[in-house]
Amino acid sequence: MIPASRSRAFARAILSSHGSRHLSSTSSTPITSVLIANRGEIALRVGRTASELGVRCTTIYTDPDAHSQHALSSPFAVNLGAANAYLDGERIISVAKEQGCEALHPGYGFLSENSAFAKRCVEEGLVFIGPPWKAIEAMGNKSRSKDIMIKAGVPCIPGYHGTNQEPEYLLEEARKIGFPVMVKAVKGGGGKGMRIAFNEQEFLDKLESAKSEGRNSFGDDVMLVEKYIGTPRHIEVQIFADKYGNAVALGERDCSLQRRHQKILEEAPAPNLAEDIRQDLWEKARAAALAVGYEGAGTVEFIFDNDTNEFFFMEMNTRLQVEHPVTEAITGEDLVSWQFKVAAGEPLPLDQETIAQRISERGWAIEARIYAENPSQNFMPDSGKLIHLRTPQISQSVRIDAGFIEGDTVSSNYDGMIAKLIVSGPTREVAIGKLHAALQDYKVVGLSTNIEFLKKICKSPAFIRGEVETGYIQKHNGELFAPESVEPETFAQAALGLLAKELSGSGVPASQGPHGQSIGFAPSSQRQFTFLTSTGSDAELVQVSINQSGRNLFDVIVNGQGLDMTYTNVICEPLAPSISTFFPHTRIESTIIADGDKITLFQRGKQTQLTLATPSWYEKALGLKDVANSILAPMPCKVLRNEVKEGDAVEKDQALVVIESMKMETVIRSPQKGVIARLVHKEGDICKAGTVLVLFEEVSR
């Protein structure tokens, strides 16, 4: 691995000619009030820095966000109403003026890269805390931005960026470029409106899917077609510029760990990157900023070819990035503070040489995005109430930027990011170790998250070696999604935890419900609990029998799924919601959270999810339906289109329905071969999680 400090002298030599700052005729007017035109963690993040600068903050929120943390963070908060109102630029500008705000900070996403909105802010006398609208316009159109970059000497990937959008014409251009190709919305971002076509046969379907997502996400379905690089890395450079002609690069970030073309882990500096290439990236990023008269924070994104060590301009994000905290960690600077200062007319706080020196001395930083999603189901988005939330201890090297606390609801109306966990260390190896340790202390119950998956990334040998690429997850799929067995002590702890809750009087006695069954005449002498490790057709039952022989003293038997273990004289001490158990061979401390029949355990840095098995007699008593012949909505969603018709014969894995949730399209595929009996919902219908979408004809037995 090449250390960041290897070529400090080289870095200074490269950058010193560009590090001088133009300070003549500077004038600035401090900003005293701002409207934060965003939500969630970035609204809170901007608000913290604004408050430190003495700037009065006004926040906005929608009906689904009425009780959100950002809505509660300021006494000056205005309800915009409908869920999509964060995109109502005119209404937001009107609120800013009504509240007497001098400036508007767009955060990221929503209107942050909308040049028309930035222009309207200026026309209405508001300071837009971002780049000039003309720069946003120039870089927001991917076709035009590539033309600008080529003229500025920044290398661009081969592709078609023209105006002819006929599908057959785009297919012909794809043939000229050579498959595989990437089809991408020219106004896209955040991984939306992008598809990879590996051959001619699938090109038109991928094109239509990308166009549909572009229309839904950006109101525009104009596409470009580019050569798809087989083993790429996503490396981006954080730049900052002021109105005096100063432009600096604040280092690069590697954002190659992605799913659905969206980042889940970012780090700075980029690992295994030769120093001359690093400095060339910085220089090209600065050239990109200067080419469009840029001001403020921006990120120049490059595709780096692992096979050839070549890099190509991909796009420029004319805003603060989600992953800006890793740059703050390696520079020691508050980038939001820089945004306010540049918007107020101040020159950049540091020159390039000072920044390069800082980066060479401050080690490594990694950010992991904590998402509400299910990695084992192709990272299917999830939503719901955070019924239990515990976070790692904050320190100088562990930071959390979050928009939610325990009790909050992650809505299906918006992106499912719960928080960002940022760690730093003197070396990459130390930073990875800190990230893994912090993830072990991150406990979320109420919805699916990617925390366990992120832990596996931290232990993946190729990641530890820095052998990253955007296809990393697919390449190492077998390792990252390898099935894990559940230890017998885990089942024992689940049963002991439920029993402890019952005996403490804080829950429904097991003898009165369907899951825990009393045996014999003494209600506290013996219990049986039956667990499922999954709810699919391959689910297996594990039975735990507990015999209480004294105060906090138990004998425990675990049977099923190849397990046959007996533990005698087990001492279990309740510490609600945790228990501390002394088995004959070890001590285990577990936190057990019950949500209906869903049981979540946290022990020894690992999360395990179990389901209490419902006895067949109880299902019949309640009249529970057999849903074996149906497909259910996995989350609250909108039906975009049905891909089949009633009466169609379908194969396993065939596309049935396309839904949208959290601004992402998801294809629901058939779990079996069969015949479609009924399509329950039509295009445009809004469905709750668990709603039946498709019914199959019953197979006679």
Determine the Cα–Cα distance for residues 270 and 237; give it in Å rounded to an integer: 10
Give Cα 232 distance to the centre of its chain. 20
Whether pLDDT at 335 is above 80: yes
Could you confirm whether 390 is annotated as catalytic?
no
How many angstroms separate the CA atoms of 243 and 79, rounded?
A: 35
pLDDT at res. 320: 95
Instruction: For residues 656 and 671, give the distance between their C-alpha atoms in angstroms, rounded to a whole number.
Output: 10
Whether residue 629 is predicted with pLDDT greater than 80 in this model: the reply is no
Q: Is 218 helix (H, G, I), strand (E, B) or coil?
A: helix
User: pLDDT grade, residue 524 (50/70/90)?
Assistant: low
Assigned token pair, 118: 């930035």
Residue 269, preceding peptide bond in cis (omega within 30° of 0): yes
**pLDDT band at residue 508 under the 50/70/90 scheme:** very low
Q: What are the residues facing 566 on neighbouring strands? A: 557
Identified catalytic residue from 233, 286, 319, 428: 319
Q: pTM for the complete prediction?
A: 0.82
pLDDT of 442-470, one tens digit each? 999 999 999 999 999 999 999 999 999 99
As beta bridge partners, residue 665 has 660
CB atoms within 10 A of CB 203: 22
Write down the H helix ranges in 424-540. 428-440, 451-459, 461-464, 472-475, 477-480, 488-503
Q: CA 283 to CA 654: how far, in whole Å? A: 48
* Number of other residues whose CB lies within 10 A of the CB of residue 83: 15
Place 345 in a pLDDT band, splitting at 50, 70 and 90: very high
Q: What is the pLDDT of residues 365-388, one digit of tens each?
A: 999 999 999 999 899 999 999 999
DSSP letters for 502-518? HHTTSS--GGGSSSEEE
Buried b (16+ CB within 10 A) or exposed e, 239-264: bbbbbbebbbbbbbbbbbbbbbbbbb
R_g over Cα of the chain:
27
pLDDT, tens digit, for every residue of 28-84? 889 999 999 999 999 999 999 999 999 999 999 999 999 999 999 999 999 999 999
The pLDDT-based confidence of 614 (bands split at 50, 70, 90) is low
pLDDT at residue number 536? 52
Q: Which element (helix H / strand E) includes 277?
A: helix 275-291
Provide mean pLDDT across the span 491-520: 65
Query: What's residue 264's pLDDT?
Result: 96
More confident residue, 670 or 20: 670
Query: Which tokens is 47 given?
Result: 């608000």
Amino acid at 353: E
Q: Inform me whether the pLDDT recorded for 6 exceeds 50.
A: no
3-state secondary structure of 477: helix
CA separation for the pair 474, 453 (Å, rounded) = 13
3-class SS letters over 552-587: CEEEEEEEECCEEEEEEEEEEEEECCEEEEECCCCE
Percent of the chain with pLDDT over 70: 89
The angle subtended at Cα 396 by Cα 470 and Cα 190, nearest 5°, is 30
SS3 408: coil
Structure tokens given for 428: 């990459």
Token pair belonging to 191: 């991984």
Q: In the predicted model, is pLDDT for residue 628 greater than 60? A: no
- Which whole number is the average pLDDT over 507-511? 40
Task: Pick 584 or 28 by higher pLDDT.
Answer: 584
- 500, 572 Cβ separation under 8 angstroms: yes
Residue 505, pLDDT score = 64
Q: Are 72 and 52 in contact (CB under 8 A)?
A: no
Q: Chain-wide mean pLDDT for the chain? A: 89
CA 175, 176, 178, 180 dihedral sign is negative
Give 526's pLDDT tier (boundaries 50, 70, 90).
confident
274-278, 605-609, 678-682: which has the minimum mean pLDDT? 678-682
Residue 593 predicted with pLDDT over 80: yes
Q: How far is CA 169 from CA 166, 173, 176, 200, 203, in A?
A: 5, 6, 11, 13, 12
pLDDT at residue 17 above 50? no
Residues 456 and 375: their CA atoms lie apart, in Å, by 12
Q: How far is CA 234 from the centre of its chain?
A: 16
pLDDT at res. 161: 84
Q: Tell the burial category of 490 from Cβ atoms under 10 Å away from its Cβ (0-12, 13-18, 19+).
A: buried
334: its two tokens: 């508050």
Amino acid 4: pLDDT? 41
pLDDT of residue 274: 96
> Under a CB-based contact definition with an 8 Å cutoff, are residues 156 and 146 in contact?
yes
What one-character-per-residue DSSP string does 99-142 give?
A: TT-SEEE--SSTTTT-HHHHHHHHHTT-EESSS-HHHHHHHHSH
Q: How many helices (H) and strands (E) does the chain have?
A: 20, 40
Average pLDDT over every residue of 508-513: 39
Q: Which residues contact 541 (CB under 8 A, 6 or more apart)?
A: 530, 531, 532, 560, 561, 613
Distances 431 to 366, 367, 390, 462 between C-alpha atoms, Å? 7, 10, 21, 16
Regarding beta strands 664-669 and 103-105, do their DSSP bridges make them parallel or antiparallel, or are they unpaired?
Answer: unpaired
Tens digit of each residue's pLDDT (9 = 90 or more) over 149-207: 989 999 998 889 889 999 999 999 999 999 999 999 987 766 778 999 999 999 999 99
- What pLDDT does residue 525 have? 66
Locate 638 and state its tokens: 């909108």
Distance between CA 449 and CA 382 in Å, rounded? 8
Contact status, residue 237 vs residue 252, Cβ threshold 8 Å: yes
Summarised one tens digit per residue, pLDDT across range 527-575 is 899 998 865 556 789 999 999 988 899 999 999 989 999 999 999 999 8
